Amino acid sequence: MEPALPVGSTGEGFLARATRFFDAPLTMRSRFVALVAALLLIPAMLLPLYEMTLYSNQFPDGLYLSIYAYTLAGGHTTNRDDLREINTLNHYIGMQPLLESDFSEFRWLPLALGTFLILILRAIVIGKMSKLVDLVVMFGYFGAFSLWSFYHRLYQYGHNLDPSAPVKVAPFMPPIFGSQQMANFTVYNYPGAGSYFLFAAILLLVGAVFLSRPK
């Protein structure tokens, strides 16, 4: 009869190793890091996720558009409605207006972020690796889907142009990250502070998994 192989040896089966990994308890350091990740979701829900700025000779101070998890906001001051100005410019080149009612994300995105916050707290209380790994996978899928959805929406805005518009421009793809010259405007698009908080939360969750991995 062959002697039993010690746990963790190369002869240990994959399923046994996987079971041992997912059944591992979370250390206190992992729980603390996961708690910080959960707290970062709060400013992510309140701060802009994406920001767009347009400069031209007519608008040397720039037109500003901020996209939050729940609304659109134009302008850095309360006495200016940059969103209205941007929609007026969009009308001249045949681009559909930016309307909150067209963004289904504003209905489900705050709910999704709030759900993730609750699930992180649940994983901390249960204290099991499998719950934390599930969160990392779901968060990764959520981030990838959100990026694809945003890219698709920008593509539609830049390509579904009204052919009867007063100013004719070729279909274009607005930049997701960086700057681009569009007619007589220079457009700067960058993630907002809320997106950086989301990215930091994902990294912290991955770090929490690493801190509790079985030796």
Tens-place pLDDT, residues 16-68: 887 888 888 999 999 999 999 999 999 999 999 999 988 888 888 888 989 99
- Residue 9 located in a structural domain: no
pTM: 0.82
Distance, CA of 204 to CA of 182 (rounded, Å): 38
The answer to whether the beta carbons of residues 40 and 211 sit under 8 Å apart is no
Q: Is residue 10 part of a domain?
A: no
pLDDT of residue 135: 92
Cβ pair 72, 98 in contact under 8 A: yes
Interatomic CA distance for residues 108 and 156, integer angstroms: 20
Output the pLDDT for position 24: 86
- Is 12 domain-assigned? no
Please report whether residue 109 resides in a domain: yes
Low-confidence ranges of the chain (pLDDT < 50): 1-3, 5, 7-9, 11, 78
Residue 160 belongs to some domain of the structure: yes
Q: Centre a 10 Å sphere on the Cβ of residue 115 and count the other Cβ atoms it contains.
A: 14
Torsion over CA of 157, 158, 164 and 165, rounded to 10 degrees? Answer: 90
Long-range CB contacts for residues 6-9, cutoff 8 Å, separation at least 24: 8/214
Residue 12 is predicted with a pLDDT of 62
Structural domain includes residue 5: no
Give the domain range for residue 170: 19-211
- Does some domain include residue 7? no
Model pLDDT, residue 187: 86
The predicted pLDDT at position 1 comes to: 45
Give the closest residue to 65 by CA, choosing from 201, 185, 197. 185
Number of domains in the chain: 1
According to the model, what pLDDT value does residue 6 have? 53
2 domain-assigned:
no
Round to whole Å and give the CA distance between 149 and 143: 10
